[in-house]
């Protein structure tokens, strides 16, 4: 299937229901609504649901959602964080899975554990070390048990407008954490949206996918480049062992891996618009400046 044929499928309309109508889902939903799609989903609170309804999303509070609120043959996008018992969406609505046109579960590359800087491919075995990664593996297994058309999209660090190093650098709270050999893969939120669109246009594209950029990078390099774009001095360098960090932040540094996006490229005809963090951060800064009216 060509990209043009895939776009024609999306133009025919449809319904997306996002369990967890958050950062990535809103970007994807906004693009689909522009093509005439019905986009709904869940949030935690009534105020957020009201805000999203005012923007044209059919938003519901998760705890009040009824099966009849979910359109038949809608594409399910699931990003609600799992608990020790697995995915809350599976527990509440797994019995309704046969009504979905497809199910896409947004997971994490943390399921691979620590690979010592080696590459993770879609066929790499899962070996989570953190509790967070173990919960994600359990949630993946729960959705696999439904035997419905399923995609497991394992994502690395997500960034985009409003979620980038710029605010921390401006506030003076950013640090360049130095740990020998440490690299991370990343993905711009726009590239998540374009990848998910490509999957929805290809019913045969099932299984595990990675959406990420082409160049895993050292975290200090990303901070340095962001500071350069802001024309500010880079933050101080701090050795990992002596750095003051939250338990969650330290857990990220406990694992080191590079993520391959080869299958997404070959199976979907997808290419990341932002091939490295440099292109991505330039675009984020331009978007944030456009929103505030600041000059570059």
Q: What is the pLDDT along the chain (296 residues), one digit of tens a residue?
A: 555 665 666 666 799 999 999 999 999 999 999 889 999 999 999 999 999 999 999 999 999 999 999 999 999 999 999 999 999 999 999 999 999 999 999 999 999 999 999 999 999 999 999 999 999 999 999 999 999 999 999 999 999 999 999 999 999 999 999 999 999 999 999 999 999 999 999 989 999 999 999 999 999 999 999 999 999 999 999 999 988 888 888 888 999 999 999 999 999 999 999 999 999 999 999 999 887 666 54
- The fold adopted by the segment(s) 3-289 is Rossmann fold (3.40.50)
Q: How far is CA 143 from the centre of its chain?
A: 18
pLDDT of 294? 61
Beta pairing, strands 119-120 & 186-188 = unpaired
Assign 3-state DSSP to the chain and report helix, strand, coil percentages, each to 5: 45, 20, 40
Rounded to 10 degrees, the C-alpha dihedral 290/280/184/173 comes to -30
pLDDT at 291: 76
- Domain locations along the chain: 3-289
Question: With the CA atoms of 87, 266, 2 and 57 taken in that order, what torsion angle do they form, in degrees rounded to the nearest 10?
Answer: 20
18 beta partners: 41, 77
């Amino acid at each position: 299937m060509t990209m043009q044929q895939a776009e024609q499928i999306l133009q025919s309309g449809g319904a997306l229901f996002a369990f967890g109508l958050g950062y990535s889902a809103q970007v994807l939903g906004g693009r689909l609504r522009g093509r005439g799609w019905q986009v709904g989903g869940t949030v935690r609170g009534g105020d957020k649901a009201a805000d999203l309804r005012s923007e044209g999303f059919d938003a519901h509070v998760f705890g009040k959602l009824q099966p009849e609120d979910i359109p038949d043959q809608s594409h399910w996008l699931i990003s609600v964080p799992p608990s020790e018992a697995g995915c809350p969406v599976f527990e509440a609505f797994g019995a309704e899975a046969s009504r979905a046109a497809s199910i896409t579960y947004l997971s994490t590359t943390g399921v691979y554990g620590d690979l010592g800087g080696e590459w993770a491919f879609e066929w790499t075995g899962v070996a989570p070390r953190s509790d967070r990664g173990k919960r994600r593996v359990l949630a993946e297994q729960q959705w696999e048990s439904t035997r419905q058309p399923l995609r497991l999209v394992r994502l690395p660090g997500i960034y985009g407008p409003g979620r980038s190093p710029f605010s921390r650098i401006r506030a003076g709270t950013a640090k360049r954490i130095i740990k020998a050999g440490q690299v991370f893969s990343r993905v711009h939120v726009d590239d998540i949206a374009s990848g998910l669109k490509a999957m929805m246009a290809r019913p045969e594209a099932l299984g595990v996918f990675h959406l990420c950029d082409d160049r895993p990078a050292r975290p200090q390099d990303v901070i340095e480049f962001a500071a350069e774009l802001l024309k500010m001095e880079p933050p101080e360098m701090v050795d990992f062992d002596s750095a003051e960090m939250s338990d969650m932040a330290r857990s990220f540094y406990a694992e080191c891996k590079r993520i391959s996006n080869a299958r997404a490229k070959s199976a979907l005809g997808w290419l990341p618009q932002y091939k490295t963090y440099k292109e991505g951060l330039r675009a984020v800064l331009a978007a944030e400046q456009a929103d505030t009216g600041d000059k570059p």
